Structures are given as structure tokens and as C-alpha cells.
């Protein structure tokens, strides 16, 4: 090989190297261009952003919307988030996510999928005696979005108080979003009501649901101190034995529903005597407990007893409209009054039970409360428990009996707004 041949070979290699270098540069340039192009396409596509959570989210109106956010596929850079969700207002909202030239949208629907709530006053199971009257205890309907829907409630009742049986009362309400709520109250019309029960079985349980005060937590002494106790010598005994202060007792022996309209009663804290109605007009106590009947059971007919008692309650309501009025049951008497020779013409537990039923019925009409204290004073035979009353008469209570009455009063509180 001559020197010329070697020179030609070197030239060829140099040219080849230069060619290869240019080719690599061209390929690299193309690759860079493609990479830039792909990056631009990626950064302007929806695939650059990944949503945390679903693209469509439903939120209950009134609840809190929690923004879940988003991220880039390489988790690089910050994503800008725009848009607001008003969870107090039903509607469709958009949350937009922005990363360079890439956009993606999340749809948030604020919906009302919750049914309204219907709250029934009183028990869901109610008893009335055949021939009696069903008095609707009332109800309240509240919706999480529409608010108070009580006036929109439709009541469907098939109660026939003249026919014994079990009846349903249906309460229906529909909110503005079409959510429907149904609740039911069951009413039993009993062929044998309390007035047909004997001493052992007599009970007002399940009757006069919104009228008879229900068991509550124990109140403190302030509940007693803001109450006036009005009645005859049975009420007077509470102060005499120290179960109550004279400051809260307006009492006089031999009071009845009839003479209570006119008899003057000592109002000891103020050193004066007034009728019940005049005292109410003047002093307007927060609460009044009336306990009458022991002196009237033997001498007044049922109809006249209730008539005069109801007139007294009406006058009391008018005299002091803001006073909470409670009629307390007549207390039971001991066994001697049910077994002596002239029991039909005297006070006895059968008469007391009947009058207590009629008193509760009267309270329901007058929309005042009935305190069924008699139930805690009875033994298993339906009479005054041995040891609770005077041995001398079996009517007036001893301190232990009084304490049971006070305990019952303090655990059956007349709540504000009832």
C-alpha cells in the first residue's frame, strides 16, 4: 500500500466520522423536538392532572364539603384550584384544577337526600276507653333543608272511639326535594277502660298521654320553692309536719271544689286571707298544685264534683295565665273505708278511682297537667299502704306518706313549654 492509499483511507474515515456525527446530531435534535412536543402535548392534556377522589362527588346539603385536591402524574409543581361549593344551597358546582396549560374539572352536587323527621308528642301507643275522646297529642316535622314542615304534615286517622279495636294514625310529610317520611301512632280503643277496672287492676297507664305528668330526673328544691300547694287539711299537713314550708302552702281544712270559689285561705307569707282566684291575681305564682276531693267524695255527685272543679280551674287559668296549673289526684284511703257497713255512702277507693279518672279527663279538656300521685301511695290491693296514713282516720298522711308525695312531685316535673 502506497502512501497515497493510506491518505485516501484516512480521508474516508474522517468523512465517515463527520457524517456519523452529523447523523447523531440530527437524531438527537429530532428526539429533543419530539420530547418537547410530547411534553407540550402532555402539559396541555387532562392526563397531566390526577384527581384525588371521584370526578363526581355528592354532598348532603348542610354538611361540610372537604376538598380532596389533585396531583400531577409526576407529582411535580403546584396545581391551582378554583371554584367554591355552597353546601347550604342545593345545586351543581364546578371545582377547576389548573396545571400549566392543563385543566380538569370536578363536579360537586349538593343534594338533599335526607328524609324529614317527624317527632310525635306523647307516646306512640295510646289508650282510650270506648266512648271516650281521642285528643291528638301533636307532632313536629323538621327538615334539614326546608326547616319547619309541621304545617305540611298530612294526618290520616281512622280512629273510631265508639268501636273497640286497634287503630293506626299515619303522619306523612314530603320535603321540597321529594323526600317522604311516614310515622305511625297506634291507638287502642278499649272496651274495658279504667272505669270498669276493679281496685287491684285500676291504672291510668297509657291513658291521657299528654296530660298526666311523666317521670323525669329528680328536680332540686327550687322546683318546690317556686310552687304553691293549694288544698284542704291534707295539704295543710305537709306544712304541719315540715315536709313543705308554710311559705308555699295555701290551705284550709274542709275545702272542696265547690267552696273553694269563695272561701278565704291564709296566705301566710303575706299575712292575709284571700280566695284562691284573688290570690292568683295578686301573686301570680309560677306553678300551682291543686289537691281537692277528700271532703267531697262522699257528699258530691261525680258530675257536680267535676263541674265545680272545672269551673275553678278555668277561673285559675284566667286569673294567672302564665301559671303552670297541676291538678293532683285524690289520695287513696285505707281498707276500713272499703269494708265498713256504710261504705257506699262514704269515701272509698272505688269512688276515688272514678273521680281521678274524671279529673284526668277534665285536665285534658282544660289543657292543664294531672299529677297521678295516688299510684305511689297504693298497696297491691289498690288501697293506701299500711303505715302511710293516720291510724285514727286512714285518710290523712303521715310524714312518710307525705315524703312519697313530694318525691313523686319532684320526679314528675312540669317542663317549660309543655
125-129 and 180-190: which strand pairing?
Answer: parallel
Q: What is the pLDDT of residues 381-398, one digit of tens each?
A: 999 999 999 999 999 999
Same fold, 117-190 and 197-410: no
Buried b (16+ CB within 10 A) or exposed e, 116-143: bebebebeeebbbbbebebbbeebebeb
- Kindly tell me if the per-residue pLDDT of 60 is higher than 70: yes
pTM reported for the whole predicted model: 0.72
* Residue 239: all three cell numbers together: 306544712
The fold adopted by the segment(s) 117-190 is: Immunoglobulin-like (2.60.40)
CA 141 vs CA 124, 144, 187, 417: distances in Å: 15, 10, 20, 17
How many other C-beta atoms can be found within 10 angstroms of the C-beta atom of residue 62?
Answer: 14
Residue where the block lists cell 291543686: 290
Decide: 185 and 124 in contact? Cβ < 8 Å: yes
CA 302, CA 45: separation in Å to the nearest integer?
90
Decide: 70 and 50 in contact? Cβ < 8 Å: yes
- In this structure, of 3-17, 289-303, 337-351, the range with the lowest mean pLDDT score is 3-17
CA 382, CA 39: separation in Å to the nearest integer?
93
How many other C-beta atoms can be found within 10 angstroms of the C-beta atom of residue 254?
Answer: 11
According to DSSP, residue 243 is labeled S
According to DSSP, residue 389 is labeled B
CA–CA–CA angle 245, 249, 255 (5° rounding): 145
CA 208 vs CA 122, 170, 414: distances in Å: 9, 20, 15
Q: What is residue 238's predicted lDDT score, i.e. its pLDDT? A: 98
Q: What is residue 78's predicted lDDT score, i.e. its pLDDT? A: 84
Buried b (16+ CB within 10 A) or exposed e, 36-55: eeeeeebbeeeebbebeeee
CA–CA–CA angle 266, 272, 278 (5° rounding): 80
Q: Domain 197-410 class? A: alpha beta
Q: What is the pLDDT of residues 131-162, one digit of tens each?
A: 888 889 899 999 999 999 999 999 999 899 88
Q: What is residue 254's predicted lDDT score, i.e. its pLDDT? A: 96
Domain 16-111 has CATH 3.30.70: no
* Residue 372: all three cell numbers together: 297521678
According to DSSP, residue 232 is labeled S
- Let me know if 95 is exposed, middle or buried by CB neighbors in 10 A (0-12, 13-18, 19+): buried
Q: What is residue 38's predicted lDDT score, i.e. its pLDDT? A: 52
Strand partners, 266: 273
All structural domains of the chain with their residue ranges: 16-111, 117-190, 197-410
Q: What is the pLDDT of residues 235-277, one digit of tens each?
A: 999 999 999 999 999 999 999 999 999 999 999 999 999 999 9
Amino acid at each position: 500500500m502506497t502512501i497515497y492509499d493510506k491518505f485516501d483511507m484516512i480521508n474516508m474515515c474522517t468523512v465517515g466520522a463527520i457524517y456519523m456525527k452529523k447523523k447523531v446530531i440530527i437524531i438527537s435534535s429530532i428526539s429533543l423536538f419530539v420530547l418537547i412536543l410530547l411534553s407540550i402535548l402532555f402539559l396541555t392534556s387532562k392526563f397531566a392532572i390526577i384527581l384525588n377522589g371521584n370526578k363526581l362527588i355528592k354532598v348532603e346539603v348542610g354538611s361540610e364539603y372537604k376538598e380532596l385536591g389533585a396531583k400531577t402524574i409526576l407529582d411535580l409543581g403546584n396545581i391551582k384550584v378554583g371554584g367554591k361549593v355552597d353546601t347550604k344551597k342545593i345545586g351543581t358546582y364546578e371545582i377547576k384544577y389548573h396545571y400549566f396549560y392543563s385543566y380538569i374539572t370536578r363536579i360537586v352536587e349538593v343534594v338533599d337526600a335526607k328524609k324529614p323527621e317527624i317527632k310525635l308528642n306523647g307516646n306512640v301507643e295510646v289508650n282510650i276507653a270506648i266512648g271516650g275522646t281521642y285528643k291528638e297529642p301533636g307532632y313536629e316535622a323538621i327538615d334539614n333543608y326546608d326547616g319547619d314542615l309541621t304545617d305540611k304534615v298530612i294526618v290520616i286517622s281512622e280512629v273510631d272511639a265508639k268501636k273497640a279495636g286497634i287503630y293506626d294514625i299515619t303522619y306523612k310529610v314530603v320535603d321540597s326535594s321529594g323526600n317522604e317520611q311516614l310515622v305511625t301512632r297506634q291507638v287502642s280503643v278499649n272496651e274495658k277502660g279504667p272505669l270498669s277496672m276493679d281496685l287491684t287492676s285500676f291504672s291510668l297507664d297509657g291513658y291521657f298521654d299528654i296530660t298526666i305528668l311523666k317521670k323525669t330526673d329528680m328536680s332540686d328544691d327550687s322546683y318546690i320553692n317556686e310552687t304553691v300547694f293549694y288544698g284542704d287539711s291534707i295539704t295543710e299537713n305537709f306544712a304541719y309536719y315540715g315536709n313543705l314550708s308554710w311559705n308555699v302552702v295555701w290551705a284550709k281544712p274542709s275545702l272542696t271544689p265547690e267552696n273553694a270559689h269563695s272561701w278565704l285561705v291564709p296566705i301566710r307569707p303575706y299575712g292575709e286571707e284571700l280566695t284562691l282566684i284573688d290570690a292568683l291575681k295578686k301573686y301570680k305564682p309560677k306553678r300551682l298544685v291543686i289537691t281537692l276531693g277528700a271532703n267531697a267524695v262522699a257528699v258530691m255527685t261525680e258530675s257536680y264534683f267535676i263541674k265545680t272543679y272545672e269551673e275553678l280551674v278555668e277561673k285559675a287559668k284566667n286569673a294567672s295565665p302564665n301559671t303552670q296549673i297541676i291538678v293532683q289526684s285524690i289520695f287513696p284511703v285505707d281498707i276500713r273505708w272499703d269494708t265498713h257497713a256504710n261504705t257506699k255512702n262514704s269515701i272509698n277507693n272505688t269512688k276515688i278511682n272514678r273521680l281521678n279518672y274524671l279529673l284526668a279527663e277534665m285536665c285534658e279538656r282544660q289543657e292543664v297537667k294531672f299529677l297521678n300521685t295516688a299510684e305511689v301511695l297504693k298497696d297491691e290491693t289498690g288501697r293506701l299502704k299500711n303505715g302511710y296514713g293516720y291510724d285514727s282516720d286512714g285518710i290523712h298522711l303521715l310524714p312518710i306518706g307525705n315524703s312519697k308525695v313530694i318525691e313523686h312531685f319532684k320526679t314528675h316535673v312540669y317542663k317549660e313549654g309543655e
